[in-house]
Structure 1
Amino acid sequence: MSPRALFLVLSLVTATAHAAHPEIVMGVLASRGVEEAEADWQPIVDDLSAATGQNVKLVALKTEQELLSEFGQNHIQIARLGTQAALTSVEQKQGQIFARLALTGGVSEFRSVLLTRKDGPASLDEVLRQPKHWRYATGTQDSTANYLIPQYYAFAKNNVLVTQFFNQISNGASEDNFRALVDRRADVASTNSDDLEKLHDKYPRDYQQLRVIWESPAFSYDPLIMRKDLPPAMQQKISQFFLNYGRKGANATHEKEKLYYADELSGFLPSSNRQLREVTDLQLFYALFQLALDKNSSAAASAQTEKTLYRRYNDLVGVLGGAR
């Protein structure tokens, strides 16, 4: 074999090996800071790499929208997403849910909460009595826990459209909203029971200045989602790793320690796209509420928008396994 032919064969073998062992990227939401999230999750990602035989890289991003964008472009193949972002991925036929988070003690649900300072409004009723008076720090629009749930349950159900009610609105992650409230740049802030517990641990003195004035009904914790175009064998390895992690095997006790430091988790529970049914109804009801208060649309335009909303809702219900 000539040197050139040998070079071509070796190049083909190398390229094939690389194609068989591509890098996998896992993305997580940095609710308390990018460096902290990366430090918390890296030990688990290292174990995932060893279990799958793949080079697995970790990235932590500040917003759900960044995570969703990177996942959609196939820059991330596994992600911890909130339910709205996961719903978008499933609707676009890019991702599928295979697990959901469970916290220490086996807690598998969270509640959205509204916070004020102890020298601020003492109740949600007090907030609602004074339109155009308060400053509100809330989540980004793609956040289910910090944006959609309080928007609907705390405000829309009280016939209040947030964008018209508050004097000032800022959007950020849980820690951003917490700090805005403590630093007196906001009067009301949204977060969720999971993040609030972590912020309590991180800022115990600041936490003492605040109080919870409202809690939502309970919702399932964030799902884990993977790309549908990953090879089936790799999907099986990834799913098996997370569902067994901290529960089975000789290293389970040590793995539980790693889980605790990664967002105070106890492990992962089996799940599927059907988990997202929790948010489809919520999205529809909130969108219809906004539409009802829209003074700029004609009756014909509103009717067409309503049809579009119901058409999407019915499509989603079908994709997610039908009515409850």
Structure 2
Amino acid sequence: MKRLIAAGLALAALASTPVRAEEIKELNFGFISTESSANLAKSFEPLLKDMEKAIGIPVKPFFVGDYAGVIEGMRFKKVDIGWFGNKSGMEAVDRANGEVFVKTAKPDGSSGYYALIVTNADRKDLNELKDVLDCSKGFNFGNGDPNSTSGFLVPSYYVFALNNVDPNKCYKRVVAGNHEANLLSVANKQVDFATNNTENITRLQQTRPEEAAKIKEIWRSPLIAGDPIIWRKDLPNDLKAKIYYFFMSYGRLGTDEEVAHAREVLAKTSDGWGPFLASSDAQLLPVRQLELFKAKVKLQNDDKLSADEKAKKISEIDAKLAALVEEQKKFPAM
């Protein structure tokens, strides 16, 4: 914990910036669009209130209809800090001057979750991945937001790219929705199956247990890193130090009463969190690999390119993948 405190204070000692913390009157906290704004607001309000007290300025929630809205909000400085998925987090880092500084964890200290393909519990014809990949049945598929890690990127690669299936050609209808909308569409038999994740299944079990009971899992991905919390790089360093200290001490430091309160708040946040873990942009490296793998598979199946053109493009992707592998060796814990 001494290292934690030192790391937080070190942020304040970094090169000075033109704007200091006292000049920032409030922070806008952006939220990825996994469910309705009302549900998210209720879930996160206690955490934001405690953060507000700790850093000394108002912390306002920022809700939009999709992931891209939060990314663009950070890009245009309407969002100062946000809860993202790994795919949307990568976009925020690349396009919106964002930086990962902590990630979410479970109450037992573990970090990570799984992407899913789910269907209605009544379906007897959909039980495993091969059933989903049958293009002769005219299925209706509920896909996720294009900026979602578990709702789009991970199943796009592991379910579809690796099996040479294009959902738009395979299925009768493909509709995109957030995690909550896709779960409810499955529960109400509006689509045959949909993407989702273990975190949102848990949330639905808490908020709408009757609908959750109507859903069954067909496929589960490899483990995905816990959701990154990202701030704007250009926030004042002294404010970053306060924010970092709040996240890393919350549920760990303070009186017994304060720690117990924070742990209770975290347990009721989203699908149930524990104290946050330190992180960095390095946790996004596996997502970058997935994006490149997906592009490579698409190229390999592209019959419109000449052999030389295809070989050149694949060679370029292989070089980028090799560079990512070397980069990842520096961060084995990520």
| Range into which the TM-score falls when normalised by the shorter chain | 0.7 to 0.9
What's the CA shift for 1:305? 4.8
Q: Which residue of 2 aligns with 1:98?
A: 101
Q: Which residue of 2 aligns with 1:134?
A: 139
Distance 1:274 1:18 in 2: 27
Deviations 1:118-171 (A, max 9, x none): 333122112223446211102111111111111111222223232322221111
Q: 1:88 to 1:301 in 2, by over 3 A?
A: farther
| Paired amino acid for 1:31 | T
Contact 1:152 1:286 in 2 (8 A): yes
Identity across aligned pairs (percent)? 27
Q: Which residue of 2 aligns with 1:256?
A: 263
Which of 279, 294, 298 aligns to 1:286? It is: 294
1:37 aligns with 2:40: yes
Distance 1:310 1:272 in 2: 24
Pairs within 5 Å for 1:234-273: 234-250=239-255, 251-263=258-270, 264-273=272-281
Unaligned runs of 5+ in 1: 1-15
Q: Which residue of 2 aligns with 1:147?
A: 152
Q: Which moved further from structure 2: 302-311 or 19-28?
A: 302-311
Q: Which residue of 1 aligns with 2:282?
A: 274
Contact 1:276 1:320 in 2 (8 A): no
CA RMSD for the aligned pairs? Answer: 2.6
What's the CA shift for 1:80? 0.7
Q: 1:18 to 1:192 in 2, by over 3 A?
A: closer
Unaligned runs of 5+ in 2: 1-18
Deviations 1:39-69 (A, max 9, x none): 2212211221221122221123332211111
Q: Which residue of 1 aligns with 2:223?
A: 218
Contact 2:100 2:231 in 1 (8 A): yes
Q: 1:79 to 1:221 in 2, by over 3 A?
A: same
Distance 2:204 2:130 in 1: 25
1:157 aligns with 2:173: no
What's the CA shift for 1:298? 5.1
Q: Which residue of 2 aligns with 1:9?
A: none
Output the TM-score relative to the length of structure 2: 0.84
Distance 2:28 2:309 in 1: 43
Q: Which moved further from structure 2: 286-295 or 252-261?
A: 286-295
Contact 2:33 2:66 in 1 (8 A): yes
Contact 2:111 2:226 in 1 (8 A): yes
Q: 1:119 to 1:50 in 2, by over 3 A?
A: closer
Q: 1:217 to 1:320 in 2, by over 3 A?
A: closer
**Rg larger for:** 1
